[in-house]
Structure 1
Amino acid sequence: MSSVSPTEGLSSQLQLHPGYSRVFEPGHLTFGFIAPLESYPDSPGPTLQDHVAMAQKADEAGFAAIWLRDVPFWDPNFGDVGQILDPMIYAGYLAAVTRQITIGTAGIVLPLRDPLIVAKQATSVDQLLGGRFIMGVATGDRPTEYPAFGIDFDSRAARFRDAFALIRTVTEQSWPRRSTEFYGQLDGAIDLVPKPVGPRIPTIVIGQSGQSLEWIGENADGILSYISNPALVAQVTERWRIACGVNGYKPYGYGTLFDLDRDPNCPVQPGRVLRAGRNALIELWKRQEELGVGHVALHFKPQRRHAAEVVDELGEYVLPHFPTRTSPLHPPHGSASR
């Protein structure tokens, strides 16, 4: 198997992007959290009681990212409503209470949202965060939501591609022209404001969103998938490397339900929840880093311990093995006033 590709496939725009470069660096594994940063194993949603303090704790500990999900409704068939709050509004709020950590979406359900409004929200959030924003996009996994929006579920993959291209166009071009299949037409007479802090907003695909890996490798800036079986990581990262092909290095990451055992030597337990003690996890993640995993996003819903206690343990014992890069565009923590 080939080793991780060097940065030659990564554009200079992204190497210098404060949010993206903190999360994704070739050959290096980073960690983030899927909001809410709270344990709620017996409830469909969190209390959000300490959500500001928890975001600041993750920021100050040196974690790479907080990921916000797009769940407009509570569907009892799924039993999870994410962080409850709208991801774009919440991202703007987190911009005011955090300093270094990247805020990402995982992911905005493009077929259910107007792409021009998503573009406006994304560039606004990016400005508020000073470039600490990554936009993750998806088609969603809840068919019951589509009738509520009057949208055909079977058209979601095509709508996703159409919206994806339109967002890239209006956020990266001035006075753009574009015709779309499912949305409107741009004739160069109007221009979206604001534009991103940098040349563009890094955009990654969450899951596969009905697309081939080759399409994602060609059009997106990376992928964040879901893996329930660590044994599959080698196979998945190799498929991703092949799919990226001539496009060079593009990062692969995954999200997982997570439960940190109190016994530091507890081995990895089988099942859809990544459950183990810290020592087994360190060894697991070192192997995955060698396989090309660039980011792991931990989801606390099934966690049996208080999330603050888990963040402290991970920060003290795990992060030293996988230090988060300090962006060249951001000063070290504590050197700038809020």
Structure 2
Amino acid sequence: MLFHPDQLSLGIVLPAQARTHADIQFPTQLATAVHADKLGFDALWVRDVPLNSESYPDPIGHADPWVLLGALAAATSQIHLATGAIVLPLRHPLHIAKAALSVAALSKGRFVLGLGSGDRPSEYEIFGRDVENRKTLFQSRWERLAAALRPDQAVTDEQDNVREEFSIRPALQQAAIPMVAVGSSAQSLEWIARHAAGWMTYYRPLPVQTDRLALWHNAQLKITTEFRGFGQSMVLELLDRPDAIYEEINLGARSGRRALIDMLSAMREAGIHHVAFNLISDKRSPAEVMGEIAADVMPALR
């Protein structure tokens, strides 16, 4: 599992390429994935962008997440593969279960299923869904999906009746596929703490994120004594000047590695268990940045 008490794991968000109006570069992403695996990163995060539009902040034409995950599972051996996030209200839960079980089997238990609600009303409209119903739709589909991913793999219908004449294969080959809530998905933190193995959210300056962590811990205390992870995505422009200061930018930071180490250490102390880097740079390749993080940042944290 990605989340461990008192530890901070690090991941990479794909696609890792220049943020231009271009389709995903499959050879580049597979090479990045293999490199991240060898360097010891903990996770590769794949996004679910059903439809591109000018309103979407990332101009890259994303691949279907399940197709990309299959290629990543075949190309890597140790690193976790995670979705950040499958848009649950726009995909049927039994289709998601089939795909999740397939990726889990192909990756030999390295798959983490991150689920979100999406937030574009026009996208809901084109799929025939009412964005105003996303809270209840997310909950009902989560429950059907969770049932299908249990060891007994219960296939239920719209009325929550178990349909024993159906099963989903391949069979579950691990104790469980971790289901992680990505974003709030219009849910309360208590609901997330009750149903999800962890919560991934977007980057906030640490004092602000610390307040969110306090709310998250309070929600957990009301629901369970079991550990629940907390992670965040983070846009990162890692400068080639090790002593450069840590500077906040939109959804992340621009920094040299020494200040980055200090901030990541503070995040760990605050109770953040995973950070997924969305690498951006006009001057440095993802391979170069990942190499510096693996050589200098990871040892300082661990």
2:165 is matched with which residue? 189
Of 87, 91, 104, 1:126 maps to 104
> Structure 2 vs 1, CA of residues 231 and 256 (structure 1 numbering), >3 Å: closer, same or farther?
same
User: Separation in 2 of the partners of 1:151 and 1:220?
Assistant: 24
Q: CA deviation at 1:45?
A: 5.2
Task: Describe the superposition over 1:165-197 as per-residue Cα deviations: whole angstroms up to 9, x where unpaired.
Answer: 10111121537364536xx75332222222321
| In the alignment, structure 1 residue 50 sits paired with structure 2 residue 18 | no
User: Separation in 1 of the partners of 2:6 and 2:21?
Assistant: 37
Q: CA deviation at 1:80?
A: 1.3
Of 228, 235, 238, 1:257 maps to 235
2:197 is matched with which residue? 221
> Structure 2 vs 1, CA of residues 175 and 264 (structure 1 numbering), >3 Å: closer, same or farther?
closer
| In the alignment, structure 1 residue 161 sits paired with structure 2 residue 139 | yes
Q: CA deviation at 1:78?
A: 1.7
Kept in 1: contact 2:180–2:200 (CA 8 A): yes
1:283 is matched with which residue? 262
- Give percent identity, aligned residues only: 31
> Structure 2 vs 1, CA of residues 166 and 122 (structure 1 numbering), >3 Å: closer, same or farther?
same
Kept in 1: contact 2:19–2:58 (CA 8 A): no
> Structure 2 vs 1, CA of residues 303 and 211 (structure 1 numbering), >3 Å: closer, same or farther?
farther
2:37 is matched with which residue? 59
User: Separation in 2 of the partners of 1:63 and 1:177?
Assistant: 35
Superposition pairs for residues 1-338 of structure 1, below 5 Å? Answer: 20=1, 23-38=2-17, 40-43=18-21, 46-80=24-58, 84-174=62-152, 176=154, 178=156, 180=158, 185-245=161-221, 246-248=223-225, 249-272=227-250, 273-301=252-280, 304-323=283-302
User: Separation in 2 of the partners of 1:321 and 1:162?
Assistant: 43
Q: CA deviation at 1:82?
A: 5.6
Runs of 4+ in structure 1 deviating by more than 6 angstroms, as ranges, are none
AA at the equivalent of 1:241: H
Normalising by structure 1, report the TM-score. Answer: 0.83
Kept in 1: contact 2:246–2:259 (CA 8 A): yes
Relative contact order higher in (CA < 8 Å, ≥ 6 apart): 1
Q: What secondary structure does 1:238 align onto?
A: helix
Kept in 2: contact 1:208–1:225 (CA 8 A): yes
Task: Describe the superposition over 1:262-314 as per-residue Cα deviations: whole angstroms up to 9, x where unpaired.
Answer: 11111111331311111001001111101110000011245642111101111
Kept in 1: contact 2:48–2:64 (CA 8 A): yes
Q: CA deviation at 1:32?
A: 0.2
User: Separation in 1 of the partners of 2:119 and 2:155?
Assistant: 32
User: Separation in 2 of the partners of 1:280 and 1:263?
Assistant: 11
1:3 is matched with which residue? none
Task: Describe the superposition over 1:217-255 as per-residue Cα deviations: whole angstroms up to 9, x where unpaired.
Answer: 111000110023233122121111111114132110000
Normalising by structure 2, report the TM-score. Answer: 0.93
Task: Report the RMSD for the aligned CA atoms in angstroms.
Answer: 1.9
Kept in 1: contact 2:210–2:270 (CA 8 A): yes
Kept in 1: contact 2:20–2:59 (CA 8 A): no
> Structure 2 vs 1, CA of residues 214 and 222 (structure 1 numbering), >3 Å: closer, same or farther?
same
Kept in 2: contact 1:36–1:83 (CA 8 A): no
Q: Which runs of 5+ in 2 are unaligned?
A: none
Q: Which runs of 5+ in 1 are unaligned?
A: 1-19, 324-338
Equivalences, count: 299
Q: What secondary structure does 2:236 align onto?
A: strand
